[in-house]
């Protein structure tokens, strides 16, 4: 709520306040990273064991950081994809279907063309990205041509995608046992598996698109005010279509990493990506109404959620508490990073 009488005398305070709100997600992440080792220290202290804070922590270790990285990488790619859509003020709920189709088609083609990255089967990788782009493109077409709000269009396209994956597999699981492809998980550079670097590389690509290309600027323009963007001569529909296509490519990268992580492609590969990816985007500080945030916010959001999930296991929280604690922490994280002065109401 804007309080106009307070505005003038406290401009400097407002500035620092806004800065605080902007950095709130990172602060939350930092606090979480320090909290879980503290909990471990406290437990050992109460039992009378010697424990140097941070140094003896099981959570605060390279091994565990790698574990968080592995768990977070596929989700990060999907969340980065949907970030572009949310920046435009739209939403994309088709990721579960797209991820499943890309994973399954990749696996089929990969096995058919030689079953190892050292043969022509490597072509299955770019093919998966093209399939992802095509599905995003169709998703965007349904949304734009039929003038169906993206929420409904992409939700229905998600059903189509999952259904397509089901038809392709008939419910079977496809194993990928190629050692070269599995080196995404097994090969480690500086203690982190290759997939973490791949995810980081695509994050940089996304950042480049967002901040250094016209398309990226246009996402912000559409999200900041569609009527204005339209009035200033922007082809809004084309930007939207490109956005959904781009998101599809990132969903496909997420699918490849998901297959690389467990070595199995199936209809269920896409499960659970839908709600968690949008939650991570919001936790990172990107606004659902568009125009605010970006891919770095999404990285922070993904890390927050994965640190919480990992930390709860490391400190041995009973399994039935974990969902609830995640829920409470997500609410707290978002509530802390909302700028109440610039938000008049929330939907």
C-alpha 33: how far from its chain's center?
19
Cβ nearer to another protein, comparing 152 with 205: 152
Least separation in angstroms between CB 237 and another protein: 10
Nearer to another protein, 127 or 156 (CB): 156
Q: In the bound complex, what is the minimum distance in angstroms from residue 188's beta carbon to another protein?
A: 33
Is the distance from CB of 301 to CB of 285 less than 8 angstroms?
Answer: yes
Report, in Å, the least distance between residue 228 CB and another protein. 11
Residues with Cβ within 8 Å of residue 217, at least 6 apart in sequence: none
For another protein, give the closer residue by CB, 97 or 216.
97
- Please spell the DSSP secondary structure of 42-111, one letter per residue: HHHHHTT----TTTT-SSSSHHHHHHHHHHHHHHHHHHHHHHHHHHTT-----HHHHHHHHHHHHHHHHH
Q: How far, CA to CA in Å, does 202 sit from each of 198, 206, 259, 295?
A: 6, 6, 17, 11
CB 285 within 8 A of CB 337: yes
Minimum distance of another protein from residue 227's CB (angstroms) = 7
Q: Which is nearer to another protein, 92 or 178 (CB)?
A: 92
DSSP state of 9: G
What whole-number distance in Å separates Cα of residue 85 and Cα of residue 83?
Answer: 5
- In terms of phi and psi (left: phi > 0; alpha: psi -120 to 50; beta: otherwise), the region of 190 is left
From residue 288, alpha-carbon distances to 192, 233, 295 in Å are 32, 25, 14
What burial class does residue 54 get, using C-beta atoms within 10 Å of its C-beta: 0-12 exposed, 13-18 middle, 19+ buried? middle
Task: Please report how close the Cβ of residue 339 comes to another protein at its closest, in angstroms.
Answer: 9
Q: Which is nearer to another protein, 33 or 164 (CB)?
A: 164
| Shortest spacing between CB 42 and another protein, in angstroms | 23
Q: Which is nearer to another protein, 256 or 330 (CB)?
A: 330
Toward another protein, which CB reaches closer, 205 or 325? 325
- Binding footprint of another protein on the chain (CB under 8 A): 89-91, 97, 142-144, 146-153, 155-164, 166-167, 170-171, 226-227, 275, 278-279, 282-283, 288, 319-328, 330-331, 334-335, 338, 340, 343-347
Least Cβ distance, residue 283 to another protein (angstroms): 8
Contact 150, 85 (CB under 8 A): yes
């Amino acid at each position: 709520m804007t309080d106009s009488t307070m505005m003038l005398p406290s401009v400097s305070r407002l500035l620092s306040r806004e800065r605080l709100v902007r950095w709130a997600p990172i602060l939350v992440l930092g606090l979480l990273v320090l909290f879980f080792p503290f909990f471990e220290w406290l437990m050992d202290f109460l039992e009378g064991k010697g424990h140097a804070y941070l140094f003896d922590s099981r959570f605060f270790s390279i091994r565990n950081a790698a574990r968080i990285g592995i768990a977070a990488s596929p989700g990060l790619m999907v969340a980065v994809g949907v970030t572009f859509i949310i920046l435009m003020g739209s939403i994309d709920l088709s990721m579960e279907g797209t991820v499943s189709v890309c994973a399954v088609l990749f696996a089929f083609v990969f096995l058919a063309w030689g079953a190892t990255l050292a043969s022509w089967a490597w072509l299955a990788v770019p093919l998966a990205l093209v399939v992802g782009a095509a599905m995003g493109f169709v998703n965007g077409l349904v949304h734009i041509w039929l003038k169906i709000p993206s929420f409904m269009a992409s939700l229905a396209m998600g059903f189509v995608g999952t259904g397509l994956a089901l038809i392709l597999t008939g419910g079977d699981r496809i194993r990928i046992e190629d050692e070269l492809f599995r080196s995404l998980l097994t090969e480690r550079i500086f203690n982190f598996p290759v997939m973490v670097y791949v995810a980081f590389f695509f994050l940089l690509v996304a950042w480049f698109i967002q901040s250094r290309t016209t398309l990226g600027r246009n996402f912000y323009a559409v999200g900041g005010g569609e009527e204005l963007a339209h009035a200033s001569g922007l082809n809004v529909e084309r930007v939207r279509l490109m956005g959904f296509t781009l998101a599809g490519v990132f969903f496909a990268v997420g699918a490849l990493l998901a297959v690389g992580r467990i070595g199995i492609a199936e209809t269920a590969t896409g499960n659970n990506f839908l709600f968690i990816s949008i939650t991570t985007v919001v936790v990172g500080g990107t606004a659902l109404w568009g125009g605010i945030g970006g891919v770095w916010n999404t990285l922070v959001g993904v890390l927050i959620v994965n640190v919480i999930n990992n930390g709860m296991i490391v400190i041995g929280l009973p399994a039935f508490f974990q969902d609830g604690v995640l829920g409470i922490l997500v609410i707290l994280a978002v509530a802390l990073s909302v700028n109440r002065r610039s938000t008049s109401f929330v939907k």
